[in-house]
A and B are shown apart, each in its own frame.
Chain A
């Protein structure tokens, strides 16, 4: 009991809130063509890449920031941000882990990322992104044997330009919405995954994102391509140090599944949520979109969202191939002054496509939680099916929980089912647990975990344990 209590004490505050003193190289402050050219130059990018960025920037200048979302935030001054920040020692990229700045390694150790030996034991290949650049990718050799490409985006642009050129921007074009276009113009790094035909990736691939420097925005770009008949499971984790200011994180994630391929994308998002009075924290405005391009393909999103001051994202599936399947499992937890406007879009274009949405929202403190989703079945998507279930749990009477589903059906052979409930933890349930010797906090944690179980089950083992703990920690002190 004592050790558990200690652990909770330790974890009570944001445990990833340290920052690391590392010299950084930064692009000049502000957003302009020069800065984009600077980023492109420092990354030694070919010309087509620079043109891709500049095209996006041209478009960006015409766009207006959207303001239909529920959580309002003070206006972001896009000229007051650093768009590129990299640890200085990265200028000449190290060839092996031993050459990495020991301070960096220490940081990752604090974060609990298995960069070296642990990695092998856990069997997870990790690509870690620190501020803007990818630091190390473990397990490379073993993956290369199978023909799997798992590297940073900058490396992919250098080494596999044909793949990047073919797929980058096909799911999220440079002409997309405000934040996605901004990302296309200034993205700095991210992960690139290519699974060749018929290969089942033998281990979980994982990326760890961390924002370290202050006044920087993080704009990473991830591209995952699963060729015919392949399978990959990809994990993503995020943390940031505690700072008073709000930091912007606007990533783009593109998934492409060809015939018979399957991509499983799991996120445990734990950006710094701001302090108890709502000061500071990350603005998490991420665009995630998957395209089931081939027949019988499948994309499944699983997310556990516990951090960020504002979360505003809708991981989506475009079900273009016949018989393709899209899934979305989400747990979103908001506490104190956190705000979340999240959900998914399932766009059915092909025949016999299926989608399933399970969303669990928990709001506590003075937070606001919103599920916003779209299910659109087009007139050609015969025999399609969708099932949606969104449940919200409220803790305390100062928080809010909202559900706004958009349901569009243009096909008479297709069925859409949607259900949503909102409730609180009943006194009877708490009483039952108390009676059996659990204290208030334990009881709440048990009930909440039961509420989330459907989603937690979808996570890979290693993550599920962490996520379960995270769910408990995020709600500390919100009941009783």
Chain B
């Protein structure tokens, strides 16, 4: 596989017109990646999900040369949702649609330059080496979006055993309100997707990010997010992780100024041999910030769920309020749930706590429902839905909340 990656990389460099500086950065990145390879379970961050093994079990070879060039004719996007769209076909931006918004307030740079810093994360090195267009979007001060923005990743049917890398940087200036929905289409082929997003949230701005992995696909996905919050800004992050075969959310948030707040909620709902992981790091770097995390998992069949969460509190970050709760329901004897909720605290005037539980459905509750006439499977479903509904209720955008309820079949 290594040789193919190398030759793919050389072809890309010779085909596309990069400046010398850009070439140099890309070469540094690919060398870094080749040195480290795909992360395996010897790395603490990948302890519970051995990507190297997953890749070698699923692919004989990975093709990073993306030559299939299809025009997208019709997009079966979330129809009931009126939204702006950024559509990526096989990792390449193909459609920009901001029809509901004031275009003067939105700035899009389609081929931004990579900056020089070389990341230590091998997958991010891979991303930097192969991205063909690096998208940067800036939202100007004071603009409030009228409709949510959908980031749609479309993979064509021809694509198989390919590695797709995309990158989006979002710069949200002060006093902005924006809702983002991340989705991708259904596809039966196996591909490796490596998404990277970097988001800066300006003062007094609110970002609501909904990451919905709902369509069944055999793809292996890695999503890396880096989110920086400024003074008095708020981030609402929601994850619904249910569709892909393997998915790892790697979410890194930094509260870099006072009065920032984060509410991060997630659902892992798995069947068959799916394997999903949510990893979060919340850095409290300044005083008076707040973060709240709630992750619930429901595991059936032979699936595997992982939650790794970390709250870091800097010595400067007095008056921090951090909370983290992970709960898992195990519905089959072959499932596995691993959790590593971490607290790393260097300031004394803080309120930080975490909790983690995992176990089966309470038999007494089932008995209660069955004695009132429900069948066993109905009571189980009712209890599971109620369990997950707590997370969905945290969504503050009503349209998206009802949409999520509809697709998950949870209507309480």
Q: Which residues of A contact B (CB under 8 A)?
A: 68, 379, 392, 394-424
Evaluate contact between B333 and A421: CB separation under 8 angstroms. no
SS class, residues of chain B in contact with chain A = strand
Q: Which residues of A contact B351 (CB under 8 A)?
A: 422-423
Evaluate contact between B350 and A423: CB separation under 8 angstroms. yes
Q: Which residues of A contact B350 (CB under 8 A)?
A: 394, 422-424
Evaluate contact between B341 and A405: CB separation under 8 angstroms. yes
Evaluate contact between A418 and B355: CB separation under 8 angstroms. yes
B206 within 8 A of A: no
A-B contact pairs, 12 of them (CB 8 A): A396-B348, A402-B345, A407-B356, A409-B330, A411-B330, A412-B330, A412-B331, A412-B359, A413-B360, A415-B358, A421-B352, A422-B345
5 cross-chain pairs, A with B, having the tightest CB-CB distances, nearest first: A415-B359, A394-B348, A412-B330, A407-B339, A421-B353
Q: Which residues of B contact A400 (CB under 8 A)?
A: 344-346
Evaluate contact between B348 and A397: CB separation under 8 angstroms. yes
**CB of B76 to closest CB in A, whole Å:** 37
- How far apart are the CA atoms of A403 and B340 in the complex, in Å? 10
Evaluate contact between B346 and A419: CB separation under 8 angstroms. no
Evaluate contact between A412 and B332: CB separation under 8 angstroms. yes
Evaluate contact between B343 and A424: CB separation under 8 angstroms. no
**CB of B106 to closest CB in A, whole Å:** 42
B358 in complex: contacting residue of A68, A392, A407, CB < 8 Å = A407
Given A414-B359, A416-B359, A423-B350, list of 4 further CB < 8 A pairs? Answer: A397-B318, A397-B348, A409-B337, A423-B352
Evaluate contact between A408 and B338: CB separation under 8 angstroms. yes
- How far apart are the CA atoms of A397 and B320 in the complex, in Å? 13
B342 within 8 A of A: yes
Which A residue sits closest to B331, measured CB to CB?
A412
Evaluate contact between A402 and B344: CB separation under 8 angstroms. yes
B315 within 8 A of A: yes
Using A397-B315, A412-B332 as known contacts, say yes or no to A405 and B348 having CB atoms under 8 A apart: no
- How far apart are the CA atoms of A401 and B334 in the complex, in Å? 36
Evaluate contact between A424 and B349: CB separation under 8 angstroms. yes
Q: Which residues of B contact A394 (CB under 8 A)?
A: 345, 347-348, 350
A411 in complex: contacting residue of B44, B333, B352, B354, CB < 8 Å = B333
Interface of chain B residues 348 through 391 with chain A (CB within 8 A): 348-360
B83 within 8 A of A: no
Q: Which residues of A contact B360 (CB under 8 A)?
A: 412-413, 415
- How far apart are the CA atoms of A164 and B315 in the complex, in Å? 51
B328 within 8 A of A: yes
Evaluate contact between A403 and B328: CB separation under 8 angstroms. no
Q: Which residues of A contact B344 (CB under 8 A)?
A: 400, 402
Which B residue sits closest to A414, measured CB to CB?
B359
**CB of B49 to closest CB in A, whole Å:** 13
Q: Which residues of B contact A409 (CB under 8 A)?
A: 328, 330, 336-338, 358-359
A-B contact count (CB 8 A): 115
Evaluate contact between A420 and B343: CB separation under 8 angstroms. yes
- How far apart are the CA atoms of A464 and B356 in the complex, in Å? 31
- How far apart are the CA atoms of A423 and B347 in the complex, in Å? 9
Q: Which residues of A contact B338 (CB under 8 A)?
A: 406-409
Evaluate contact between B356 and A418: CB separation under 8 angstroms. yes
Using A410-B336, A424-B349 as known contacts, say yes or no to A403 and B343 having CB atoms under 8 A apart: yes
**CB of B390 to closest CB in A, whole Å:** 18
- How far apart are the CA atoms of A403 and B336 in the complex, in Å? 22
**CB of A478 to closest CB in B, whole Å:** 11
Evaluate contact between A418 and B345: CB separation under 8 angstroms. no
Which B residue sits closest to A419, measured CB to CB?
B355
- How far apart are the CA atoms of A407 and B341 in the complex, in Å? 9
- How far apart are the CA atoms of A406 and B356 in the complex, in Å? 10
B335 within 8 A of A: yes
Q: Which residues of A contact B356 (CB under 8 A)?
A: 405, 407, 416-419
Using A402-B342, A404-B342 as known contacts, say yes or no to A422 and B352 having CB atoms under 8 A apart: yes
Q: Which residues of A contact B345 (CB under 8 A)?
A: 392, 394, 400-402, 422
Q: Which residues of A contact B346 (CB under 8 A)?
A: 397, 399-400
- How far apart are the CA atoms of A379 and B357 in the complex, in Å? 17
Q: Which residues of A contact B340 (CB under 8 A)?
A: 404-407
Evaluate contact between A395 and B348: CB separation under 8 angstroms. yes
Which A residue sits closest to B332, measured CB to CB?
A412
**CB of B27 to closest CB in A, whole Å:** 31
Which A residue sits closest to B322, measured CB to CB?
A422
Evaluate contact between B354 and A420: CB separation under 8 angstroms. yes
Which A residue sits closest to B351, measured CB to CB?
A423
Evaluate contact between A403 and B342: CB separation under 8 angstroms. yes
Evaluate contact between B333 and A417: CB separation under 8 angstroms. no
**CB of A338 to closest CB in B, whole Å:** 16
B353 in complex: contacting residue of A398, A401, A417, A419, CB < 8 Å = A419
**CB of A254 to closest CB in B, whole Å:** 28
B357 in complex: contacting residue of A401, A413, A418, CB < 8 Å = A418
**CB of A72 to closest CB in B, whole Å:** 15
**CB of B295 to closest CB in A, whole Å:** 13
**CB of B229 to closest CB in A, whole Å:** 22
Q: Which residues of A contact B347 (CB under 8 A)?
A: 394, 397
Evaluate contact between A398 and B357: CB separation under 8 angstroms. no
Q: Which residues of B contact A419 (CB under 8 A)?
A: 353-356
- How far apart are the CA atoms of A394 and B344 in the complex, in Å? 12
Evaluate contact between B358 and A416: CB separation under 8 angstroms. yes
**CB of A62 to closest CB in B, whole Å:** 18
- How far apart are the CA atoms of A410 and B356 in the complex, in Å? 15
**CB of B110 to closest CB in A, whole Å:** 42
Q: Which residues of B contact A415 (CB under 8 A)?
A: 357-360
- How far apart are the CA atoms of A403 and B324 in the complex, in Å? 13
